[in-house]
Structure 1
Amino acid sequence: MGFFHRNTSKQTSRVKKLLELALSRLAMAQRPRLARKSISRGDVSQLLALGHLHRALLRAERVIEEDNMLQAFDIIELYCKRLIEHAAELDKPQECSENIREAAAGIMFAARWCSDLPELLLARTILADKFGSDFAETAKEGTGIVDPMLVWKLSGDKTTMELKKKVTKEIAAESNILVDFSEL
């Protein structure tokens, strides 16, 4: 019994270290995405000023993609911090609170979508061992306890025409440019 308990504590310690590494890498991964988002917003503004509405809408798609990934990073950061703070609960996965289970499921789901954070793949393996294969499969699919907002931000078609128009309008308003979508 003592051997298994010690092994679990070692795994918990490893997950904690991996999540701490993921947090530090997350800060680095956000910087280029913020820069790309800013550049894309500038491009949309310039394209609108030149009267290239269709091209501006295409560029707005990039703004949306970067913004979604940045928002997903915020959720992942929250989950990493939650699991680090409550790592002791991971030693008894059956007794984990709903918040810890949601954080673990979120990390397991995000691991597939965030190539910027390779530590999440290793953490997912350990969390799958702790919570079981059924929980891991459900989490990897993005169903069940995984936050639907995280699933939506990381996967699926997020750039509808209405959303592109909304972002384009916002950027146009910031630049004092009138936009007429009737010509589309």
Structure 2
Amino acid sequence: MGFFHRKTSKQTSRVKKLLKLALSRLAIAKRPRLARKSISRGDVGQLLALGHLHRALLRAEQVIEEDNMLQAFDIIELNCKCLIEHATQLDKPQECSEDIREAASGIMFAARWCGDLPELPLPRTILEDKFGSDFAAAAKEGTGVVDPMLVWKLSGDRTNMELKKKVTKEIATKNNILVDFLELQEAVKQDGNGNGSHC
């Protein structure tokens, strides 16, 4: 039994080490996403200025995608820090607080969705062993104690029209451009089923 406990402690330090690496990677991974978000917002503004509302809405998907990922990165960062700070408690998962269980489930969920963070799959496997298959299954599905905001930011629908309209309107307001979504609805109706160009 003592041997098992030592083995678990070794696994815990491995999780801690990998999560510290993930934190370093997060700082690097944020930069290109911030740049793409800024460029995409500029593109939406230019398209609106040229009167291309439909194309601006399509471009807004990129803004939403980058923004969602950046917000997900912030949550993942908090989860990593929580697990690093309270790593010793991972040796007794049944006694872990709700915060630690949420952070562990968040890392398990994020590992599936974040190709930007190759350090996460191994901690996920170790955490699965520690917390058990039922906990792991719920975490992978984004249920249980996983932060709903993390689930939504990583797996939400960036093509949601209301969200695209909201982002487009916000960018239009910032650029002093008036946007009429009723005009767009009329154009879509005239186009049949709205199967226009998606460029």
TM-score using structure 1 length: 0.98
- Tell me if the contact between 1:37 and 1:67 (Cα under 8 Å) persists in the aligned partners: yes
Q: Deviations over 1:36-70 (max 9, x none)?
A: 00000000000011110100000011101110011
Q: Map 1:82-101; keep pairs closer than 5 Å.
A: 82-101=82-101
Distance (Å, rounded) in 1 between the aligned partners of 2:96 and 2:158: 32
Q: Map 1:168-179; keep pairs closer than 5 Å.
A: 168-179=168-179
Distance (Å, rounded) in 2 between the aligned partners of 1:157 and 1:53: 20
Aligned to 2:139: 139
> Structure 1 residue 159: deviation in Å?
3.2
> Structure 1 residue 178: deviation in Å?
1.1
AA in 1 matched with 2:36:
R
AA in 2 matched with 1:146:
V
Bigger Cα Rg: 2
Q: Map 1:70-81; keep pairs closer than 5 Å.
A: 70-81=70-81
Give percent identity, aligned residues only.
Answer: 86
AA in 1 matched with 2:52:
H
Aligned to 1:46: 46
In the alignment, structure 1 segments of 5+ residues that lack a partner are: none
Any idea what SS the aligned residue of 1:81 has? helix
Root-mean-square deviation (CA), in Å? 0.8
> Structure 1 residue 157: deviation in Å?
1.6
Distance (Å, rounded) in 2 between the aligned partners of 1:118 and 1:180: 43
Any idea what SS the aligned residue of 1:119 has? coil
Distance (Å, rounded) in 2 between the aligned partners of 1:140 and 1:160: 23
Distance (Å, rounded) in 2 between the aligned partners of 1:39 and 1:13: 40
Aligned to 1:155: 155
Deviates more, 1:7-16 or 1:160-169: 160-169
Distance (Å, rounded) in 2 between the aligned partners of 1:91 and 1:137: 20
Aligned to 1:65: 65
Distance (Å, rounded) in 1 between the aligned partners of 2:6 and 2:157: 44
The runs of at least 4 consecutive aligned structure 1 residues that moved more than 2 Å come to none
Distance (Å, rounded) in 2 between the aligned partners of 1:78 and 1:159: 27
In the alignment, structure 2 segments of 5+ residues that lack a partner are: 185-199
Distance (Å, rounded) in 2 between the aligned partners of 1:121 and 1:14: 12
AA in 2 matched with 1:32:
P
Verify: 1:111 aligned to 2:111, yes or no. Answer: yes
Distance (Å, rounded) in 1 between the aligned partners of 2:46 and 2:19: 40
Aligned to 1:30: 30
Distance (Å, rounded) in 2 between the aligned partners of 1:79 and 1:171: 31
- Tell me if the contact between 1:152 and 1:158 (Cα under 8 Å) persists in the aligned partners: no
Distance (Å, rounded) in 2 between the aligned partners of 1:142 and 1:122: 18
Aligned to 2:6: 6
Distance (Å, rounded) in 1 between the aligned partners of 2:178 and 2:157: 28
TM-score using structure 2 length: 0.91
Aligned residues: 184
